[in-house]
């Protein structure tokens, strides 16, 4: 009888274990990259003319390679806005399919910023300080690269949008 009871209890416990949030939960729907870009870029009036590419572009995977060397298969969506004249203004957000890939994404964004700093050292030294001040912030499965004039305002817009 006890065995039966314990068997039942064990089954109940196992079922309870399955329901516990050990395995990853389903992702919330991704925020619109277009809306996010519009909201973030609007926060810094000092931005020059910006060119933007995103996961909506036909060659999105190829273009993503200019921002990060993370496998594009791990990306659900992204946008990258950068100064058309090449100066140190960049705002980008990447949404991952799995938040577990965030450290790798952050590392690749840091490497991207360092590459830009090195490039400016050679071609536009006056941009070096601004590029070095770039910030990488993340929230949930989103990471943002912010290199601009009013970084705090842009960061706040990002954090507000991906709550």
Which of positions 42-81 make contact with other proteins (CB under 8 A)? 51, 53, 63, 66-67, 69-70, 80
Residue with tokens 């919330």: 28
Q: Report d(CA 25, CA 111) in Å as an integer.
A: 30
CB of 137 to other proteins, least distance (A): 17
Compute the 3-state secondary structure of the chain and give helix, strand, coil in percent, each to the nearest 5. 50, 20, 30
DSSP state of 48: -
Q: Given candidates 11, 111, 133, 156, which one binds other proteins under the rule CB under 8 A?
A: 111
Q: Which is nearer to other proteins, 83 or 95 (CB)?
A: 83
Question: Taking CB under 8 A as the rule, does residue 104 contact other proteins?
Answer: yes
What is the bridge-based pairing of β-strands 142-147 and 90-96?
antiparallel
Instruction: Compute the least distance from the CB of residue 46 to other proteins, in Å.
Output: 15
7, 121, 152, 156: which one contacts other proteins (CB under 8 A)?
121
Q: What is the rounded CA–CA span in Å between residue 90 and residue 92?
A: 7
Decide: 57 and 34 in contact? Cβ < 8 Å.
Answer: no
Neighbours of 64 (CB within 10 A): 22
Judged by the rule CB under 8 A, the positions of this chain that interact with other proteins are 2, 5-6, 9, 13, 16-17, 20, 22, 51, 53, 63, 66-67, 69-70, 80, 82-87, 90, 100-101, 103-104, 107-108, 111, 115-116, 118-119, 121-126
């Amino acid at each position: 009888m006890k065995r039966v009871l314990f068997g039942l209890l064990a089954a109940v416990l196992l079922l309870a274990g399955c329901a516990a949030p050990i395995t990853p939960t389903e992702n919330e729907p991704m925020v619109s990259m277009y809306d996010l870009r519009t909201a973030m870029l609007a926060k810094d009036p000092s931005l020059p003319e910006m060119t933007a590419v995103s996961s909506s572009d036909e060659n999105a995977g190829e273009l993503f390679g200019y921002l990060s060397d993370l496998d594009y298969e791990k990306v659900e969506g992204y946008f990258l806005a950068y100064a058309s004249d090449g100066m140190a203004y960049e705002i980008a957000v990447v949404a991952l399919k799995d938040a577990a890939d965030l450290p790798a994404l952050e590392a690749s964004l840091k490497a991207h910023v360092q590459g830009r700093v090195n490039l400016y050292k050679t071609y536009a030294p006056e941009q070096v300080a601004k590029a070095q001040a770039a910030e990488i912030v993340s929230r949930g499965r989103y990471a943002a690269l912010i290199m601009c004039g009013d970084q705090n305002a842009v960061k706040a817009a990002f954090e507000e949008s991906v709550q």
